Amino acid sequence: MTSMSRARVARRIAAGAAFGGGGIGLMGAAAIGLLLAEARLARRQVGIGMASSRVPHADGLYGQLYATPGEPPLALTLLGDSTAAGQGVHRAQQTPGALLASGLSAVAERPVRLRNVALPGARSDDLDRQVSLVLEDTSLVPDICVIIIGANDVTHRMPATQSVRRLSAAVRRLRTAGAEVVVGTCPDLGTIEPVQQPLRWLARRASRQLAAAQTIGVVEQGGRTVSLGDLLGPEFAANPRELFGPDHYHPSVEGYATAAMAVLPTVCAALGLWPADEDRPDVSRREGFLPVAKAAAEAAAEAGTEVAAAMPSGPRGPWALLKRRRRRRVRVEETAPVVP
C-alpha cells in the first residue's frame, strides 16, 4: 500500500472514530477466512493472549542519586498491552517502563517515579479502565504517560474505528487532566517469525493502517506518537532471533531496549527536556510539516518516527510535525528501583 492510499484509509478510519462510524475494518472480508485459519496456528505457536504470564514488577523510584530536597520526582506512567507491561523479560530493569524511567532520569537529572498499569492481552477497549486507575487520585496526575496499544486489536479483529475511538478518548482524558501523552503506535505484526504468507502481508497491512489512524486520533487530542513499526528499525529484520524473545512474539531484552531508546527522545521533548534546536525540522532527515494524515502514513512506514501537532488547520486539514529524532543510548540503572 502506498503512502497516499494509507493516508486516505487512515483519514477515513479516524473520521469514522470521531463521528461514530463503526464498520470500517482493517482488511477485506475475502481475506478473513484465510486470516482466521492461519491466525489460530500462529497464536498457538507464539502464545498470543496469555495474559497470565508473569511480568516483572518495575514500579518504583529511579535515579535516586539525583534527588534534591523539596523537588518532587517526575511521574511516568505506562498504559497499554503486554509490550508496555514488559512481558517476555525476567528482570524489572529490562522492562520498557524501567528503561524509560532510567533514561528520563538521566536526561532530566531528576528522580522518576514509575507506575505501570498496562495489562498483557489488553486491547484499546481496556484503556478506559486503565486511565481511571491512573486518574483515581487527582492530586497525583503523572507528568507524562506512555501508551503502547494496538497489536491485540489487530489479532482480535477489533474494528479500526472503535480502536481509534477508544485510544483517542484515553488520550483526551489524560491531556485534560494535565498529563503529556506519548503513544507507541501498533507494531508491525508482519515481523513475527511464526506468521507465514499471506497472513504476514495481511498482518503488516492491517498493522500499518491502524498505526496511521491511531496517529491521527492521538495528534488531534494533543498527544504525540512514535511509530513502533517493525519494533524500531532494521535491527529487527536483520536480527529477529536476537530482538524477539523466546516466544518469537514479544520483544527480547535487546528488543525492548531498542524500542525504549526510540521512544525516549519524544518523551523528553514532550517535557521540554530535549535540546530546543532538535525541535526544528531537519530537511536532511526528511523531516517537516505535513498534513496530519500524510505524516501519519509516512510514520507508519518507518519505525521510530515521531508525529506531533503543529498547525490547527491548513488547506488539507490539520498539520503535524514529522520528526526522525536521533536515538541516544543512556546509562540504565543496574539496581532494582526503590519501592516506597
- The rounded radius of gyration (Å) of the Cα atoms in the chain is 19
Q: Which of these CATH numbers, 3.40.50.1110, 3.40.50.2300, 3.40.50.10860, 3.40.50.300, describes 3-323?
A: 3.40.50.1110
Domain boundaries, the chain: 3-323
247 annotated active-site: yes
- The pLDDT tens digits for 223-266 are 999 998 775 334 444 445 544 556 555 567 777 888 888 899 99
Q: Count the residues in the chain.
A: 340
- The pLDDT tens digits for 181-228 are 999 999 887 766 555 666 677 777 888 899 999 999 999 999 999 998
CA 40 vs. chain centroid, Å, equals: 25
Of the listed 59, 82, 126, 207, which one is catalytic?
Answer: 82
Q: Name the pTM for this structure.
A: 0.84
250 annotated active-site: yes
**Can you list the positions of beta strands (E) in the chain?**
60-62, 74-80, 112-116, 144-148, 180-184, 224-226, 288-291, 306-309, 319-323
C-alpha closest to that of 97 among 330, 264, 269, 248? 264
- The pLDDT tens digits for 38-49 are 555 555 554 444
Of the listed 143, 188, 250, 252, which one is catalytic?
Answer: 250
227 annotated active-site: no
**Distance between CA atoms of 150 and 124, rounded to whole angstroms?**
7
User: Which three cell numbers, joined as nine digits, stand for 8?
Assistant: 486516505
3-state SS, residue 263 = helix
3-state SS, residue 75 = strand
